[in-house]
Amino acid sequence: MIRLFFILFLFFPCCLIAQEQVDSIISKKVFAFTFQRGSALVHKESVNSAKGVKPFALGIDYSLQRLDYSSFSICRTYLRRGFNLSYLDFKSPVFGKGVIASIFLQPVYRIGKSFQFQFRGDVGIGYFSKPYDEISNNTNLAYSNHVTPYLHVSSGIGFRVSKKITTEINGNFNHISNGHANQPNAGLNWMMLSASILYYPDNNILPRHKFVRAKRKPEGLFIDAGIVFTPSQAYHLSWKAKRRFMLGMFTQVSIPVSRINALTGGAEISYSSYKNDATAPHDNSKPGLTTAITLGHEFLLGKVTFSQQIGKYITRYPSFHTGFYHRWGLRYQLSSHWFAGFNLKAHKEVADLIDFRLQYRF
């Protein structure tokens, strides 16, 4: 399910880069109210307690709708970005209720004078009332902290009712998990159908721009190197081990192939210090030192880069991992040579770790 979510998230980077343009920016304020109703998804046996759960949510948005050509020219879309606050009730004594705060990006495609198509991605954090408790709530294996990261994607259609009112109908996919920071952490996914009313204090008219294709100047390849670190993680019941820390190094070659896309290839080495419990096999977490090769893709979003990688271990690896893994990351350009960021690494649908990294470009 981790891979499914991030594959859906690939739609958004071409719109993020629009924020780096220096042309005059034209934007309008938008206020929205949303009602959602749906069902939880049982994506693995450990979340069988989610069967039959039908959550509902109420939310409010404050956002800015971009209308300038510099934004439109990236993906021929009008970007809306803003903040959302939602109240969520799972209607379940196991999962409880929650309050979610998130930031979002929503590209809007104009269809004639009255219709639009939109899709959206949110990243945020939520406070949930019923985390796992060994005594009082031991059937909730989905989340174990009150405060938990939140991810969301949606798409749908909109209709311009009047000069200041637009309505939207969207299908929504929601996910919470902590990236293996604490256990249990099976994660919780739910699908929702939503209806929204958007109010534009000025007007909701989307201008009709004529797209002009810009010529791209060819670029050479870049060589990067860096260090990565993951602090202590919680005990993992399936692994029967606890990671004390992970420290590693990597290098890669990045080859731009378009204005916002680059292909990468590299190698990495890392050391993880584990503590096995008494019931774990002696070699459960051996070896601690692993090496791997990677292939990947990067969205070049001005000072922000969104990366995706597939890795293959070329030396032995702990028995609770698979030979291949995937990694999803964000990094920010600090100067002409230095970058900082973080990545989520997973084996199949199981999150392994979140790392923090410092990167130098030669």
Instruction: Check residue 24 and report its DSSP letter.
Output: P
The distance of Cα 256 from the centroid of its chain, to the nearest Å, equals: 23
Place of tokens 């192939």: 257
Q: Is residue 74 pLDDT above 70, yes or no? A: no
Residue 194: the pLDDT is 96
User: Which numeric CATH code is attached to 222-361?
Assistant: 2.40.160
Omega prior to 184 cis, within 30 of 0: yes
Q: What pLDDT, in 10s, does the model give residues 186-209?
A: 888 999 999 999 999 999 888 887
Q: Is residue 268 pLDDT above 90, yes or no? A: yes
Domain ranges of the chain: 25-199, 222-361
Q: What pLDDT, in 10s, does the model give residues 275-294?
A: 877 777 666 677 889 999 99
Q: Is residue 264 pLDDT above 90, yes or no? A: yes
Q: What pLDDT, in 10s, does the model give residues 223-262?
A: 999 999 998 776 676 677 778 889 999 999 999 988 778 9
* 246 burial level (CB within 10 Å; 0-12, 13-18, 19+): buried
Residue 237: the pLDDT is 67
Q: Is residue 110 pLDDT above 80, yes or no? A: yes
Instruction: Tell me if residue 77 falls in helix, strand or coil.
Output: coil
Which of 121, 177, 190 minimizes the C-alpha distance to 152?
121
The two tokens of residue 337 are: 């040579």
Average pLDDT of span 18-29:
59
Q: pTM value?
A: 0.72
The distance of Cα 131 from the centroid of its chain, to the nearest Å, equals: 22
Q: Is residue 8 pLDDT above 60, yes or no? A: no
The two tokens of residue 129 are: 């009332």
Average pLDDT, the chain: 85
Residue 303: the pLDDT is 82
Q: Which fold has domain 25-199?
A: Porin (2.40.160)
Which of 244, 251, 325 minimizes the C-alpha distance to 288?
244
CB atoms within 10 A of CB 14: 19
